[in-house]
Structure 1
Amino acid sequence: MTFPCSVGEPSLGSSCVSRGAPLQGVLRLLPLALLLPWATGSTLNCHKTCICASNIVSCSRMNLTSIPFSLPVYTAVLDVSYNTITRLRAEWTMIKLEKLHNLLLSHNGMSFISSEAFLYVTQLRYLDLSYNSLRQLEEVMFEPLVQLEVLLLYKNRISQIDRTAFTGLNKLQKLYLSQNQVSRFPLELVKEKTRLEKLSLLDVSSNKVKVLPIQELKILPAWIKNGLYFHDNPFACNCDLYNMLAHWHIRRLTSAVDFKDDYTCVLPDTQKTKVAVFDLNGDCMNCSTVKAEDQETYLDQTLILNCDTRHRDMNKTWMIPGNVLVTLGGNHSTKVLKDGRLEISSVQPEDSGIYTCFAVSEALNETLYVTVKVHNFTLNGDDETLNTAYTTLVGCLASVILVLIYLYLTPCRCFCCPVYSKAKSQQEDSIHSSGLSTTPTHEDLGTKAGLSRHVAFIDGKDLQGQNGKVNPDAEEDLEDREQEGRRDRGRRQKSDAESISSVCSDTPIVV
């Protein structure tokens, strides 16, 4: 029981504690007494301090140094921006605000946030901490915010980000870290096994990042790359950076198209000249001009084509070369997988061509083209290809060698060749002799005589003239015939005929 205080009596606010009151009751009221002066000065006043409209409480630009106390439990939006709330303590609210989904704390010069500051506002979906003086993000700092979708941290002084600072934000979709002093790209937020599954926008532009994990960024899905912003950082110029951004620009990714002129880098010269990344294919570094990539494969391989859309969770249909629509059951060797990819099994040369993917969602319709080239050979187990051009060249060389062998290393068989003509004559004579006469062949006769086969062996009686006398002109006739034989060497048609006509005589005469 309390009553007006007399001189020397203990007081609590405007009342006094009875001398007979137990000391335990006094101690129980003491914490409330300590809080009352602070709470009374910061108690929510919807007529002077803030503006209350249904479940929205706006206390912006009210020169507040702390968040008003005793907020209504039904508060859904709380705006305390443009004040001087430099520290966000754990006890800024002592009751659970389960309906609070938007909290705006920008432009306060805030430099400290307690690790327990969000224990009573776990249903937050939108948190604005931009334009403050935060320097680091500590581990599991935002872990209680399991429903958070958008987190604004741009225009602070953040230089250190703990790798677990965003652990637990499984529904986070957009994270703004631009205009800080971040020197490391937070790859863990988008990498395959550590990725925030719902994250579709990560802005680290206008920071102090000098090196990007280019190889890891290249393999990310297009819907993630479409929302990665890292322009206006002091990158070192190199062709890998140009190559990556040029490919993104060809794919019309928003991050590369909308801020094309803001992607700059520093040349490796003494002046540290800053140039546009998209100019590196010119005189600056002479990087190779990037063109659209084709999908290449080999015979009998299984090929899977990605419909790598800029948005996530789109309905996808495919059309194969010849404008044939792929049905759910598949077309011969092609079928659409559950995740929207197209599988082509046991590819053949006729599978080459342009494949079209149509992706449709409520917000976007997108058409992608994939050009497939099928090499006309297989890929062996050692990953070495049997190049058809190489085999063709080897075949041509082998053919040339065989022709040369035929021309230069085989006997002459043309009718104008003396050796061939002689051999042929011998063969023909032998045939005629063996077929029409039982006497020794011309070759045998020539061998025995040691002379040309045109030398005739004539019986002495043939030299006799009339009445059994020797004809004086016989020797001259024989010499004339020998000379005529020498002049006609190589012409076998006539001699063959003469030889055949004389086979019936008693003594063969060879001419």
Structure 2
Amino acid sequence: MALSCPKDCVCASNIISCSNADLKGLPLHLPPYAAVLDLSHNNLTHVRAEWAPSRLLHLHSLLLNHNHLIFVSTEAFINLPHLKYLDLSSNLIAFLGENLFSKLKELEVLLLYKNRLSRLDLTAFEEMASLQKLYLSHNMITRFPLELVKKDGALLPELELLDLSSNKIKTFPVDALKDLPAWVKNGLYMHGNPLTCSCPLYNLFSHWQKRQLSSAVDFEEELRCDIDQNRKGIRILSLSNPEFMNCTKVMEQSFIAYRGDNVTISCDTRQRGVTIREWVTPRFERVPQENNNSSMLVLTNGSLQISNISMEDMGPYICYAVSQVFNETLYVHVTVHNFTQHGASDTLNTAYTTLVGCILSVILVLIYLYLTPCRCCCRSSEKQANQQEDSINSSMLSTTPNHNAEVAGGKEVSKRHMTPSNAQGQNGKCKPNRSPKEANKGAQKAERKMSDPDSVSSVFSDTPIVGVSQSEGGRGCSKDKAGAELVGLL
């Protein structure tokens, strides 16, 4: 059996251990029954295609960690069709070639942490439909490989653990990762990266923490980001502090629907392989899984479907996820608005129309108050024009009784107007030696000016009419002026 066990190796049944053997090359002759091959802690630098010339159909675990590997051939694993566990950690690998692992269709665990990977050729992971755990931490990766886990068309559809911690990633596809299933988020480790701080990043990890996802709970202290050059290594979950970014604290979001909608609520459990999902309504009634003409139905993928949702369907729903090793209870609060989405738009249009109508009404009122022609201004201009008509002809031609109080005097008025103009002194002042009759004529003329019926003060004023002295522009000549005025009016 010496030929069956390679030199410098220890064989125990189907386990072959060549660890710490100071190997500089891979053993060429391996027993076909080998199931586990340990080549760790050696001085290997290359893994070439010819290292396994024959097919090893029983080999399921290969350990090449803690070597000095800088090159791995794309044909290196072609004769290992049933390999499930491959450890290439703690080496010097800087690049993954095209279709490097595509032949390992049954591989479930791949360890590549603590290498020098700076970029990934995503074709290296093609046709790996069985891969569940991928460890890429402690490398120099600068871009998040979203293609590995994206919701539709992921390269690794069965992946449930992706460790990208302690790399050089600064940006994070927050919006894309929000839609991932909880069992993917639960195993997505991003701590130890120089992430750029932002409120969406805080909301994402805060939500994961509330869901008690392992990626946020197990490494809460290591989830840090950089705000600027002076503020680095800030705990992401402390960004709600006003001292940093004052991000709004995230709350568990409820499912929002509108009356009459057909909605589907997912039982977003963080465990993969759940076999049973049961739903309980807010009235503590179990939702049937078979179609019995009910408005609620549990679909084959475990989601709850509610047709023509109404206000009575609002409230907390409970999903019980049961597997062989784990049970989980999820609560989803459904809020139903008492209008349809179309009705909400109509309501908005009606409110907008009402607002526009109110604004137009206010404008019309302002126009009425400030732009309508003012009666007082027009009357003032008329008054000014009347004051300019202070002549004998204008007084004789006036037919309005209020404007010409002398009309009632008949012939006496005509005689007064025929009096020579030299009866009045210069500047309208009365001569000291004129007769009382001439004084009465002068007083009546002055009264026509002071008793203007268009004057608001003369019509509505409660102040008595008092004659003025000669010093006030010659408008009065004696204390008997008031009596003469009353005689002239009568």
Does the pair score TM above 0.5? yes
Q: Which residue of 2 aligns with 1:317?
A: 278
Equivalents in 2 of 1:302, 1:87: separation in Å? 58
User: What SS is found at the alignment partner of 2:335?
Assistant: strand
CA distance in 2, matches of 1:118, 1:211: 34
Counterpart pick for 2:262 among 302, 307, 321: 302
Q: Supply the distance in 2 between the matched residues of 1:110 and 1:298 (Cα, whole angstroms).
A: 59
Q: Percent identity?
A: 47
Structure 1 residues 399-426: Cα deviation after superposition (integer angstroms, max 9, x where no partner): xxxxxxxxxxxxxxxxxxxxxxxxxxxx
Residues 135-284 of structure 1 correspond to what in structure 2 (within 5 A)?
A: 135-191=94-150, 192-268=152-228, 270-282=229-241, 283-284=243-244
Pick aligned residue for 2:252 from 287, 292, 304: 292
Unaligned runs of 5+ in 1: 1-42, 398-511
Residue identity opposite 2:337 in structure 1: H
Structure 2's unaligned 5+ residue stretches are 359-490
Secondary structure of 1:206's match?
A: coil
Superposed counterparts of 1:360-439, under 5 Å: 360-380=322-342, 384=345, 386=347
Q: Which one of the candidate residues 90, 97, 108 is aligned to 1:131?
A: 90
Q: Please, which moves more after superposition, 193-202 or 70-79?
A: 193-202
2:14 is aligned to 55
Contact 1:52 1:58 in 2 (8 A): yes
Distance 2:268 2:217 in 1: 17
Instruction: Name the SS of the counterpart of 2:86 in structure 1.
Output: strand
The aligned counterpart of 1:120 is: 79
Closer, same or farther: CA 311–47 of 1 in aligned 2, 3 Å: closer
* Cα distance change of structure 1 residues 318 and 390 upon mapping to structure 2, 3 Å threshold: farther
CA distance in 2, matches of 1:200, 1:281: 30
Tell me whether 1:338 sits opposite 2:300 in the alignment: yes
Distance 1:130 1:156 in 2: 7
Q: State the secondary structure of the residue aligned to 1:137.
A: coil
Find the aligned partners of 1:134 and 1:81 in 2 and give their Cα distance: 15
Once the two structures are TM-superposed, the CA of residue 341 in structure 1 deviates from its matched residue by 0.5
1:328 equivalent among 279, 282, 289? 289
**Deviation at residue 386 of structure 1 after TM alignment:** 2.9
Partner of 2:240, secondary structure, is helix
Aligned to 2:463: none
- Residue 53 of structure 2 corresponds to which residue in structure 1? 94
CA contact (8 A) 1:321 1:353 kept: yes
Match of 1:471 in 2: none
Matching residue of 1:444: none
What letter corresponds to residue 111 of structure 2 in structure 1? L
Counterpart code for 2:279 = W
- 1:160 is paired with a residue of what secondary structure? coil
Give 1:390 shift: 6.5
Aligned pair 1:79/2:38, yes or no? yes
2:315 to 339, 353, 369: 353
Give the counterpart letter for 2:255 in structure 1: Q
1:299·1:374 contact (CA, 8 Å) conserved in 2?
yes
Deviations 1:209-241 (A, max 9, x none): 000111101111111111111111001111010
CA shift, 1:380, in A, is 1.0
**SS of 2:123 mapped into structure 1:** coil
Aligned equivalents of 2:48 and 2:156: distance in 1?
27
Structure 1-normalised TM-score?
Answer: 0.66
Q: Following TM superposition, by how much is the alpha carbon of 1:115 offset from its aligned partner in structure 2, in angstroms?
A: 1.1
CA contact (8 A) 1:317 1:326 kept: yes
- Cα deviation code 1:158-186 (max 9, x no counterpart): 11211211011111010000000000111
How many angstroms apart in 1 are the aligned matches of 2:33 and 2:346?
70
SS at match of 1:244: helix
The change in CA–CA distance for 1:294 and 1:362 in structure 2 (over 3 A counts) is same
Indicate the SS of the match to 1:297.
strand
State the one-letter code of the partner of 2:286. L
Task: Give the secondary-structure state (helix, strand or coil) at the position aligned to 1:161.
Answer: coil
Shift in Å, 1:388: 13
Structure 2 counterpart of 1:63, one-letter code: D
Q: Which amino acid aligns with 1:111?
A: I
The corresponding residue for 2:377 is none
What is the Cα deviation at residue 250 of structure 1?
A: 1.1
**Is this contact kept in 2: 1:66–1:85, CA < 8 A?**
yes
Structure 1 distance, partners of 2:347, 2:337, is 10
Note closer, same or farther for the CA distance 1:158–1:385 as it changes in structure 2 (3 Å cut): farther
Give the direction of change, closer, same or farther, for the CA distance of 1:71–1:60 in structure 2 (3 Å limit).
same
Cα contact 1:141–1:165 (8 A) shared by 2:
yes
Q: For residues 81 and 255 of structure 1, do their structure 2 counterparts lie closer, same or farther at Cα, with a shift above 3 Å needed?
A: same
Deviations along 1:53-108, one digit per CA (max 9) or x if unpaired, are 11111010011111212111111110010000111111112111111110000001
Query: Any conservation in 1 of the 2:160–2:183 contact (CA below 8 Å)?
Result: yes
Do the aligned residues in 1 keep the contact of 2:263 with 2:306 (CA within 8 Å)? Answer: yes
Deviation at 1:328, TM superposition (A): 2.1
Amino acid corresponding to residue 159 of structure 1 in structure 2: S
Alignment check: 8 A CA contact 2:128 2:155 kept: no
Q: Is the 8 A contact 2:94 2:116 kept in 1?
A: yes
Amino acid at match of 1:258: D
CA distance in 1, matches of 2:11, 2:342: 74
User: 1:387, CA displacement in angstroms?
Assistant: 6.7
Equivalent pair of 1:146/1:170 in contact (CA under 8 Å) = yes
CA contact (8 A) 2:125 2:155 kept: no
